[in-house]
């Protein structure tokens, strides 16, 4: 599972997810990418599940890149605990996703292979996505 080695602050506030993604919104490494259409949190377990699903399809025919990293700690208080007594302990890590963010990229022969690889990964993710291709500069 993905998680940061060291963080400045152990606990974070919830924050907001308004606006569109400005960084990481274009396919940079591979030929095709999986782009987010709505905001949300993607946990490290969901990223790992999607990674395994894509890797199974791409394996020897191409290459894959993960363009997101879970760097936000989510805290939880134990069940049946009374109110107060401070914030809970960090339980898991999430990546904050804004619409337009490229989540995964693959380098395969054609669009059909990319679509097939991403179709299994989409079922592991909690947000709507679409498959996009790289815009060649000067073509």
Give the DSSP letter string of 59-92. TTT-EEEE-----EEEEEPPTT--S-SS--EEEE
Give pLDDT tens digits for 104-127: 999 998 899 999 999 999 999 999
Give pLDDT tens digits for 58-107: 988 899 999 999 999 999 999 999 999 999 999 999 999 999 999 999 99
Q: What is the CATH number of domain 32-77+88-133?
A: 3.90.1170.10
Give pLDDT tens digits for 9-18: 999 999 999 9
**Burial state string for 49-84 with b = 16 or more CB within 10 A and e = fewer than 16:** bbbebbeebbeeebebbebbebebbbeeeeeeeeee
């Amino acid at each position: 599972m993905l998680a940061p080695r060291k963080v400045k602050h152990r606990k974070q506030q919830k924050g907001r997810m308004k606006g569109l993604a400005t960084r990481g919104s274009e396919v940079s490494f591979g030929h095709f990418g999986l782009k987010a259409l709505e905001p949300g949190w993607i946990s490290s377990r969901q990223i790992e599940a999607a990674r395994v699903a894509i890797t199974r399809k791409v394996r020897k025919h191409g290459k894959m890149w993960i363009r997101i990293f879970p760097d936000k700690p989510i805290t939880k208080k134990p069940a049946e605990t009374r109110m107060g007594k401070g914030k809970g302990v960090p339980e898991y890590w999430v990546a904050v996703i804004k619409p337009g963010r490229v989540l995964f990229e693959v380098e395969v022969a054609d669009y059909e292979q990319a679509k097939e690889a991403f179709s299994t990964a989409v079922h592991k993710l909690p947000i709507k996505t679409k498959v996009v291709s790289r815009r060649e500069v000067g073509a």
